[in-house]
A and B are shown apart, each in its own frame.
Chain A
Amino acid sequence: MKALKIYAIAVSSGLLVGTLVGWHFGRTITDGRLIWEEMFAAAGYEQLASLQYEEADAEHGQQALLGFTEFAKSMTKLPSANSDKALLLDAGRTYLRLAAIEELAGNSDLSHQYVLNAQQTFKNMGRDIPRERLDKEVTKIVALARTAKPSS
């Protein structure tokens, strides 16, 4: 009876130690894997959207950028994306590109809306950038697009 008690103590103390260690490592390693997955997804989508923006016609390029902003917006709800500032930075820059596209198309109101979205996105990552500075960035992108594509 005494021996049984000792063996029960051995199993239960082993179980306790194992569960605590397993819990800790399971959590840490899974968190790490989820963060990797989040980084890969964000970088993958952003790369394809940027490539499409540079290589495809205006309509497809804009569709890709809008797709990325939607994707990034959904991604911010993931706990693993909480500390990913690069995602917000990319989303903010994409809004500026969209603002430039609308500016080029003569849609000032929509362009303004995208600048506001960019400002909000940068604010979410802790950077309060004045609107005037963002407007200047949009003007730069527009000028660049005009020199690169004089026909459009």
Chain B
Amino acid sequence: MFKKAARFALLFLAGVGLGLFAGWKHSSTRERLREGRAFGDPKGRDFLKTYDLVARLRTFNLGSAMRIQDPKDSPQRRRESLNLILETAQEGRASVSDPATLTLIDVETGITDVRLSMLEGDAGDLPTSQAWMQKAQSTLKQAGWKDYSEEHLKTIVQALNKQDSCDTPCSKK
């Protein structure tokens, strides 16, 4: 009797497991398809790629701003999270064709370069810090920035770090 009950429970649980996976997968796929249904044409698909890229960049941005503001986080982890933004921006550029968005990706890249420059400066590696700053200045100059002096860029990035780290739910603990 006990054996039968155990076997029944086991089979029931196996069914639950399979059902959970199938139900989850199906409803999740269905919701994602529903989300992109209005964007079936090439223009719509371009939009979705840009949308996905901007959302990912924002996520990484908030994460790295939080790391920068957290005194316990190591420079290496900060460096890694900033490099992740640069990699994502670099890879994403290929899928974006809108010139306005491409310029904004450059702005994001430039801001990240300034963050890296400040990070290396704090770590005492002045040549690398200068190299990042020069890269940032050249990128932002190309994006049409009027004032791309080192001092001004640092002020902007400090304000952004503060703002972005305040925007994350984790920072509100």
| Chain A interfacial positions (CB closer than 8 Å to B) | 3, 6-7, 10-27, 29-31, 34, 37-38, 40-41, 43-45, 47-49, 51-52, 55-57, 59-61, 63-64, 66-67, 70-71, 74-75, 77-80
Contacts and interface: CB of A to CB of B under 8 A. Distances in A.
A74 to B, nearest CB: 5
The A interface is mostly helix, strand or loop, or mixed, namely helix
B54 interface: yes
Contacts, number: 177
Q: Which of A17, A21, A25, A52 has the most CB of B within 10 A?
A: A52
Contact of A27 (B16, B27, B167): B27
B108 A48 contact: yes
B11 interface: yes
A49 B104 contact: yes
B28 A27 contact: yes
A34 B23 contact: no
B35 to A, nearest CB: 5
A38 B21 CA distance: 26
26 contacts: A10-B15, A13-B15, A14-B15, A15-B16, A17-B15, A17-B16, A18-B16, A19-B19, A21-B20, A21-B23, A23-B26, A24-B23, A26-B25, A30-B28, A40-B55, A52-B104, A52-B107, A55-B147, A57-B144, A60-B103, A60-B144, A63-B100, A64-B103, A64-B104, A71-B54, A80-B35
B68 to A, nearest CB: 16
A36 B108 CA distance: 20
Given A21-B20, A25-B24, A63-B99, A48 B15 contact: no
B31 to A, nearest CB: 4
Contacts of A45: 54, 104
Given A30-B31, A52-B103, A56-B145, A10 B11 contact: yes
